[in-house]
Structure 1
Amino acid sequence: MPGFRIIRRTLLPPAEAWLRLTDWERHGALVPLTRTVVETAPPTGVGTRFTARTGVRGITFDDPMEVTLWRPPEAGAAGLVRLEKRGRIVTGRAEIEVRPLPAGGTEVHWYESLRIRGLPRLLDPTVDAAGRLIFSRALTAILRP
């Protein structure tokens, strides 16, 4: 399965970056034509489920996800959240790691592995390029001070 990694640095402390990155509704607000609905009660942790619905009018698709690993950053240690994509159309996983920097601030590593059912593997590089563009913009906006 193809995948891509995006790395960003921010002056935000790890705890603040983590809170922003795990605000699932915020992700939907920053991805074009997408709305995210959290289906489980707070707080977020392993087992939290949410769906990103993308589309216009009647032409939409759902990207249901579940948190399968939840390790917030603490006391100088990195944090990591893993999401499994459980949709009929979009499958794969995402991992977001929040690493404290020695001089302050945070380095974020976002890894995304997507597969769109029905698309030939020949188009995987195109899917990766589109995903990298969309998620890069969203990540930059999420981390903006």
Structure 2
Amino acid sequence: MTRFVVTRDVRATATATWDTLVDWPRHGAWVPLTVLRVESERAGGVGARFVARTGVGPLAFDDPMTVVAWEPPGGDDPGDRPGRCEITKHGRVVHGGAAFSVTPLPGRRCRVEWLEDVTVSPRRLTRYAGPLIALIGRAGFAATLRGLARDVEGRPA
């Protein structure tokens, strides 16, 4: 498996940032070449299912995911419980998991930490190209979290 973590401080409350992060279809606004659709009755909470379709034309693939842990932030003040979401990826191309946390900081800010722990098919690709996959993943998710920050920071408080 390839594991990487990306962290971003956001000038918005933990609650507002969480609400934006768990608006799954909205991810398409920040994740390059990706459209996300919810496949379960409920979009939030444990058991929610969604699919990210990433790529262009015949080079696109589906990344089906299921939420396996869901704990919204306990508030927006430092010391309040961070929000935490864990996702299992069970597609034909990407397998493994992802998780993010949203931790309240002073000054109505928060810190988002995004972790990916994935294998890419064919599995031997991950074995041999794991460091390159992690490097590309970190760069991609850093851009994604910058987009998230622009989105949530641009909204009225």
TM-score relative to the length of structure 2: 0.86
What 5-or-longer segments of structure 2 have no aligned partner? none
**What percentage of residue pairs aligned between the two structures are identical?**
40
The amino acid of 1:141's aligned partner reads: G
**Which of the two has greater helix per residue?**
2
Q: Which runs of 5+ in 1 are unaligned?
A: none
Separation (CA, whole Å) in 1 of partners of 2:110 and 2:10: 5
Root mean square deviation of aligned Cα? 1.3
**Equivalent residue runs for 1:1-145 within 5 Å:** 1-75=1-75, 76-118=80-122, 119-144=125-150, 145=153
CA contact (8 A) 2:97 2:116 kept: yes
Residues matched between the structures, number? 145
Letter of the aligned partner of 2:63 in structure 1? D
Cα contact 1:53–1:63 (8 A) shared by 2 = yes
| 8 Å Cα contact 1:29-1:36 kept in structure 2 | no
Deviations 1:60-82 (A, max 9, x none): 21100000000000132111000
Distance change >3 Å, CA 43–CA 117, structure 1 → 2: closer
The whole-number CA distance in structure 1 between the counterparts of 2:68 and 2:44 is 11
Runs of 4+ in 1 over 2 A off after TM superposition: none
